[in-house]
Chains A and B, each alone.
Chain A
Amino acid sequence: MASTGGTRPPRRSPMRVWPLVRVALGNGQLVVGAILLLVVLLIAVFAESLAPRAYDAMDLTNRLRAPGPGMLLGTDQFGRDTLSRIIYGSRIALRVGLIVVVIEGVLGVSLGLLAGYYGGLADRMISFLTDITWALPPIVLALAIVTVLGPGLNNVMIAIALVSWAGYARLIRSKAQGLKNMPFVEAARALGESDLSIMFRYILPNTFGLIVVVASLSLPGAILSTTALSFLGLGSQPPAPDWGVILSEGIRFLYDAPFLSIFPGLALVWTVLGFTLLGEGLRDILDPRMKA
């Protein structure tokens, strides 16, 4: 329409890093999300120096102390310092989020790629599986899987990944369907590239933006779900400083020591909000068409 599209600026830099950084800095959500997460990341990395005490150091003389000097966020029923537990807990939250996202990402992306590229029977089978996974309520399904595998953080992560890969598969499938008819993919086929090479050299790299967006948007969900399962006693086991565990232990003293539940809850909100803002910011920059 507007004919300014025809003027192609002679861009010099081989990669588009600087303009991307400039766009990123202009995106408020992304900047706020990144700052929130940076704080969590620094806390997780420097937990040993930041935490006043070890996460499992009990002090039976100081049980259920309200927040105050010396124990900023109070202590639990074993006299453990809540602040220290929350600080160490950030490691679990980040690790869990990343591992879940990697597992579900690998699963969802591979299946989506296969379905989208091959089509036909493979597509119909994978899409069937995707639709079923999508249709079942995720937490219920995850509960069922953990019940079969047995409780424990690792099994929870597997369970969460198994119920949440379908989102990746759907998006990557439709992206791959679009890409496989692009002339550059046809040209590759005409050159005699193998199917595997086409998927990995031509299609996958062109879905990176999408994968990053989906991954960062599903991170908060992954953290929330594992926390929920830990809260239910299926994930991390005490005395692990999992935020879910702290929450579920604190809930018993909700009337006497509400701070025990409030602070891990706030930590969770902070982290989840950080990832959500980051994800939405990345989506706006990398894949604006996904915006509803």
Chain B
Amino acid sequence: MKVMAAPPETAILQVDDLSVCFETSRGSVQAVSGVSFAMAKGEVYALVGESGCGKSTTALAVMRLVPPPGRIRRGHIRLGDEDLLALSDEAMADVRGRRLAMIFQNPLVSLNPVYRAGSQIEEAISLDSVPRPVAWRRAIEVLGRVRIGDPAERALRYPHELSGGMRQRVMTGMMISRTPDLLIADEPTTALDVTIQARILDLLMDLCSHSGMALLIITHDLGIVAEIADRVGVMYAGSLVEQAPVYELYEDPLHPYTRMLMRALPRLGKGQGRLETIPGSVPDLIALPAGCAFHPRCPERLAICASQTPVSRVVGGGRTVACHRGEVDR
């Protein structure tokens, strides 16, 4: 268990003050505002939040794949000692796949339907100028590593001949085949059944603990976070409102939004109390409220919350929180 925020010199990924906006005809959508976090080697870091909170955009920004009209307005992203935002497009393309890889929610559309599962992995491996026969052998090895039974036979199948869970494992295999430093998984199990999800999560955790690969998992599901993450960042309306090691976050959430989100989840049986709900709705990212973006929905708001944006501050134990309340209380 890692408790401390990774210090810069050992960090594999370091995101500083990242801001991404989308210029639309209605105005500028502030999708990510001033997000900073760091990940250590082998760490599983979860970015969690509801739809529109900016978690996926943050991941795409790390890949430098933010789709137009989006663009990275501010910030730094470092992978090891490489400044990703300073790289040329060719250099970035080389980093992608080799040091940085990403799996998506829907593995059917992420795999090329006209190539066999094994060929797609072979293709990825041969990018490192590995001769084809060797690459094919390694592709089969990789399929075994992502726990696909009978890998030599399955390597010959086309994506549509595989089940959803198997496709996601092929995708994962393809992404880890070149042993990246960091794997980004955007809602990797949302389209899958729970028993299959459990297997994918087990697999991802094992890959991290055995290979030292770091995993950035993007999810809306606090159950998945509890199951797999070492540290967690909670996002709301484009900002990282709280960061903590997973145990601390679940036992003592500091930000009012995190607390309310946790209580909105059903844990008990019928007739054992109502769920807590968060009043109001997610703000329009074009016209964010002044001060703390959560203040209009926050039952604990102070006068200052409507005027001043809270700054993320370290509260010890590797935790950060962006809330004015804590400034007085703690």
Q: Do A and B bind each other?
A: yes
At the interface, yes or no: B207 with Cβ under 8 Å from chain A? Answer: no
Q: How far does the Cβ of A192 sit from chain B's closest Cβ, in whole Å?
A: 31
Query: What is the number of residues of chain A that contact chain B, defined by CB distance less than 8 Å?
Result: 9
Query: What is the number of residues of chain B that contact chain A, defined by CB distance less than 8 Å?
Result: 22
Q: How far does the Cβ of B26 sit from chain A's closest Cβ, in whole Å?
A: 6
At the interface, yes or no: A183 with Cβ under 8 Å from chain B? Answer: no
B60–A1 touching, CB < 8 Å:
yes
* Contact pattern, A 106-121, Cβ under 8 Å of B = 1, otherwise 0: 0000000000000000
Which residues A1-44 have CB closer than 8 A to chain B? 1-7, 9-10
Give Cα A3–Cα B50 distance, bound, in whole angstroms: 9
B67–A1 touching, CB < 8 Å:
yes
The interface residues of chain A lying within 8 Å CB-to-CB of B67 are 1-2
At the interface, yes or no: B285 with Cβ under 8 Å from chain A? Answer: yes
**B284 contact from A2, A3, A7, Cβ within 8 A:** A7
B31–A10 touching, CB < 8 Å:
no
**A6 contact from B22, B26, B104, B282, Cβ within 8 A:** B282
A3–B52 touching, CB < 8 Å:
yes
Q: How far does the Cβ of A1 sit from chain B's closest Cβ, in whole Å?
A: 6
A3–B51 touching, CB < 8 Å:
yes
Give Cα A6–Cα B286 distance, bound, in whole angstroms: 12
B57–A3 touching, CB < 8 Å:
yes
Q: Which residue of A lies closest to B29 (CB)?
A: A4
A9–B286 touching, CB < 8 Å:
yes
Q: How far does the Cβ of A123 sit from chain B's closest Cβ, in whole Å?
A: 25
A2–B26 touching, CB < 8 Å:
no
At the interface, yes or no: B56 with Cβ under 8 Å from chain A? Answer: yes
Q: Which residue of B lies closest to A11 (CB)?
A: B26
User: Which label, helix, strand, loop or mixed, suits the secondary structure of the A interface?
Assistant: loop
B50–A2 touching, CB < 8 Å:
no
At the interface, yes or no: B181 with Cβ under 8 Å from chain A? Answer: no
A3–B26 touching, CB < 8 Å:
no
B186–A7 touching, CB < 8 Å:
no
A3–B55 touching, CB < 8 Å:
yes
A7–B286 touching, CB < 8 Å:
yes
Contact A2-B31, Cβ < 8 Å, known A7-B52, A9-B26: yes
Q: Which residue of B lies closest to A10 (CB)?
A: B284
Give Cα A160–Cα B286 distance, bound, in whole angstroms: 52
Which residues B1-48 have CB closer than 8 A to chain A? 22, 26, 29, 31
* Contact pattern, B 266-281, Cβ under 8 Å of A = 1, otherwise 0: 0000000000000000
**A5 contact from B51, B55, B286, Cβ within 8 A:** B51
Give Cα A201–Cα B66 distance, bound, in whole angstroms: 41
* Contact pattern, B 41-81, Cβ under 8 Å of A = 1, otherwise 0: 00000000011111111001000001100100000000000
The interface residues of chain A lying within 8 Å CB-to-CB of B285 are 4, 7
**B56 contact from A2, A7, A10, Cβ within 8 A:** A2
The interface residues of chain B lying within 8 Å CB-to-CB of A7 are 29, 52, 282, 284-286
The interface residues of chain B lying within 8 Å CB-to-CB of A2 are 22, 31, 56-57, 60, 66-67, 70
B29–A3 touching, CB < 8 Å:
no
B186–A4 touching, CB < 8 Å:
no
Q: Which residue of B lies closest to A22 (CB)?
A: B25
Give Cα A9–Cα B60 distance, bound, in whole angstroms: 23
Which residues B57-109 have CB closer than 8 A to chain A? 57, 60, 66-67, 70, 104
Task: Please list the residues of chain B having a beta carbon within 8 angstroms of any beta carbon in chain A.
Answer: 22, 26, 29, 31, 50-57, 60, 66-67, 70, 104, 186, 282, 284-286
19 more CB-based (< 8 A) A-B contacts, given A1-B104, A3-B55: A1-B60, A1-B67, A2-B22, A2-B31, A2-B70, A3-B31, A3-B57, A4-B31, A4-B52, A4-B70, A5-B51, A6-B50, A6-B53, A7-B284, A7-B285, A7-B286, A9-B26, A9-B286, A10-B284
The 25 sampled A-B contact pairs (Cβ below 8 Å) are A1-B67, A2-B22, A2-B31, A2-B56, A2-B57, A2-B60, A2-B66, A3-B31, A3-B51, A3-B54, A3-B57, A4-B22, A4-B29, A4-B52, A4-B57, A4-B285, A6-B50, A6-B51, A6-B53, A6-B282, A7-B29, A7-B52, A7-B282, A9-B286, A10-B284
